[in-house]
């Protein structure tokens, strides 16, 4: 099958029978829902860019398994060049949407599953790797969007999965049948789940022998019986219902999160990638987290490019573009943004082959990349708000601006430089508001903190990967210490 166009993707989602709830009601037509549609448009961009000849090298790759041209979002990395192109592709998608485009988590799950299932099979003689390759090629050939579901609600975080008062706080196997398994639980903070064809479920933490029922990984269509989604609230989300493009800031693109409930969902044997091999749960989590932390060195940088550009436009419209203090702020924003990109490329360049032949990033540098992402976007946002000024959050609505009586006063008193319309000034301020405080802030600022693991998760991995013992030996050698 050829790569899907953006419109074909939209129609493929329309044909699915997903169970989605928002504001206490079932969403009967999620594709055309004004709150959900911008999120769908962001995924669509990954299809439209793959059809554009000028982006073919980044967006399209030849599958090493089928020989077909596939979207890079369904590819298994075969080299450090693949790893670097992934980051560059993500920056491009961020630049084009100024939002989360949602296919990264599935791509990162693909690559983590590929190498982990290979090593499980090597030890136990299972068929998980073949199961996964069959699923992977099916998704790649049909150009499907796949969500990756890792984060469990966790309940009491001081307790292991098996020790929870409510055993469903971590997704688990509740029944094993000759033809498959039945699972129950939930996955939280699922970006893009309502825009996906399939979902890969993974454990969320390293596990011990007592957690065997929780050490499960599999894939099912998102409209499988027993799966339903509850959409999360975002700041300013209902502005999308008002029909004002100006007040939304980024009216075309966006992202949404959902709690996904698995209420006794059946998974056939050929869709299972882990089933009780608890000692491999940590490997799968570590590899997925590493790939996903690499991703943030691309996607967040692309969105950062848009925010820096918006701040520069606001400075021009405010009449302060030539002020040395403003220039310095824009330089600092650029420095921070490009540093994140450097980290994404560095962990890719230092990637190595796994036993399966697929390439993995340098895990230490990937965690350093994400640790920086938990900090730098906050400073970039702060500087953008500084440059924009207070009107960013006190401007009247578009309805007031269009009002016969009020509009002329808003136009008169909120104009900046004379040759720029008040409307354009308000539009760029609303875009900055959207990226800093509104719905897009979920996919930029706040997700920079908690997506792919909150800061302490990276610090644990940095401590583990940092090889402090070797560094101590270097110091002792220089100091001629003998012990």
Binding-site residue set: 191
> Which sign does the torsion angle of CA 70, 72, 76, 79 carry?
positive
| Residue environment code for 369-388, b if the CB has 16+ CB neighbours within 10 A, otherwise e | bbbbbbebbbebbebbbebb
- Residue 421's SS3 state is coil
- pLDDT by residue for the chain (483 residues), tens only, comes to 689 999 999 999 999 999 999 999 999 999 999 999 999 999 999 999 999 999 999 999 999 999 999 999 999 999 999 999 999 999 999 999 999 999 999 999 999 999 999 999 999 999 999 999 999 999 999 999 999 999 999 999 999 999 999 999 999 999 999 999 999 999 999 999 999 999 999 999 999 999 999 999 999 999 999 999 999 999 999 999 999 999 999 999 999 999 999 999 999 999 999 999 999 999 999 999 999 999 999 999 999 999 999 999 999 999 999 999 999 999 999 999 999 999 999 999 999 999 999 999 999 999 999 999 999 999 999 999 999 999 999 999 999 999 999 999 999 999 999 999 999 999 999 999 999 998 877 889 888 999 899 899 999 999 999 999 999 999 999 999 999
Binding-site residue set for FAD: 191
- pTM to 2 decimal places: 0.96
Which residue stretches of 281-358 are H helix?
Answer: 281-318, 324-349
Please report the DSSP string for 173-199 in residue order: EEEEETTEEEEEEEE-S-TTGGG-SEE
> Could you give the angle at which helices 422-436 and 281-318 cross, rounded to 10 degrees?
160
342 as an active site residue: the answer is: no
480 as an active site residue: the answer is: no
299 as an active site residue: the answer is: yes
47, 75, 97, 104: which is the annotated catalytic residue?
104
In 3D space, the residue among 128, 89, 129, 134 whose CA is nearest the CA of residue 107 turns out to be 89
369 as an active site residue: the answer is: no
The full set of domains in the chain, from first to last, is: 6-278 (2.40.110.10), 283-474 (1.20.140.10)
194 as an active site residue: the answer is: no
113 as an active site residue: the answer is: no
354 as an active site residue: the answer is: no
Measured CA to CA, the distance from residue 118 to residue 244 in angstroms comes to: 51
Q: Give 95's strand partners.
A: none
Which burial class, exposed, middle or buried, applies to 311 when counting CB atoms under 10 A from its CB (0-12, 13-18, 19+)?
buried
* Residues 6 or more apart in contact with residue 270 via CB below 8 angstroms: 131, 134
257, 277, 286, 385: which is the annotated catalytic residue?
257
Measured CA to CA, the distance from residue 89 to residue 72 in angstroms comes to: 9
């Amino acid at each position: 099958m050829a790569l899907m166009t953006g419109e074909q993707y939209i129609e493929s989602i329309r044909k699915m029978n997903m169970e989605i709830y928002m504001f206490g009601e079932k969403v009967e037509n999620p594709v055309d829902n004004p709150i959900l549609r911008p999120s769908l448009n962001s995924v669509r961009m990954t299809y439209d860019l793959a059809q554009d000849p000028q982006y073919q090298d980044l967006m399209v790759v030849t599958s090493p398994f089928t020989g077909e041209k596939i979207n890079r979002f369904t590819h298994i990395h075969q080299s450090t060049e693949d790893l670097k192109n992934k980051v560059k592709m993500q920056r491009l998608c961020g630049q084009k949407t100024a939002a989360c485009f949602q296919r990264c988590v599935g791509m990162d799950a693909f690559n983590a599953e590929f190498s982990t299932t290979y090593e499980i099979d090597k030890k136990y003689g299972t068929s998980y790797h073949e199961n996964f390759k069959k699923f992977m090629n099916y998704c790649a050939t049909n150009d499907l969007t796949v969500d990756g579901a890792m984060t469990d609600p966790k309940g009491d975080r001081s307790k292991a999965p098996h020790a929870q008062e409510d055993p469903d706080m971590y997704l688990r196997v509740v029944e094993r049948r000759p033809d498959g398994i039945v699972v129950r639980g939930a996955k939280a903070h699922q970006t893009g789940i309502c825009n996906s064809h399939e979902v890969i479920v993974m454990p969320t933490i390293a596990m011990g022998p007592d957690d065997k029922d929780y050490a499960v990984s599999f894939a099912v269509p998102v409209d499988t019986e027993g799966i339903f989604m509850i959409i999360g609230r975002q700041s300013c989300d209902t502005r999308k219902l008002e029909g004002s493009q100006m007040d939304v800031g980024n009216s075309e693109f966006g992202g949404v999160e959902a709690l996904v409930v698995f209420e006794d969902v059946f998974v056939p044997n050929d869709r299972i990638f882990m089933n009780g091999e608890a000692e491999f749960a940590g490997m799968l989590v570590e590899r997925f987290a590493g790939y996903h932390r690499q991703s943030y060195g691309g996607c967040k940088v692309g969105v950062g490019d848009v925010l820096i550009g918006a701040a520069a436009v606001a400075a021009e419209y405010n009449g302060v573009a030539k002020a040395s203090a403003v220039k310095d702020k824009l330089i600092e924003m650029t420095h921070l943004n490009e540093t994140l990109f450097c980290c994404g490329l560095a962990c890719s360049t230092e990637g190595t082959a796994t036993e399966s032949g697929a390439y993995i990033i340098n895990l230490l540098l990937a965690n350093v990349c994400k640790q920086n992402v938990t900090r730098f976007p906050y400073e970039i946002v702060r500087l953008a708000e500084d440059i924009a000024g207070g009107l960013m959050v006190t401007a009247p609505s578009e309805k007031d601006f269009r009002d016969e009586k009020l509009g002329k006063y808003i136009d008169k008193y909120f104009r900046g430089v004379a040759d720029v319309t008040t409307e354009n000034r308000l539009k760029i301020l609303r875009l900055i508001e959207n990226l800093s405080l509104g719905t897009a802030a979920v996919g930029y600022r706040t997700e920079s903190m908690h997506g792919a693991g909150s800061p302490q998760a990276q610090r644990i991995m940095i401590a583990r990967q940092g090889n402090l013992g070797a560094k101590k030996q270097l110091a002792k050698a220089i100091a001629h210490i003998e012990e």
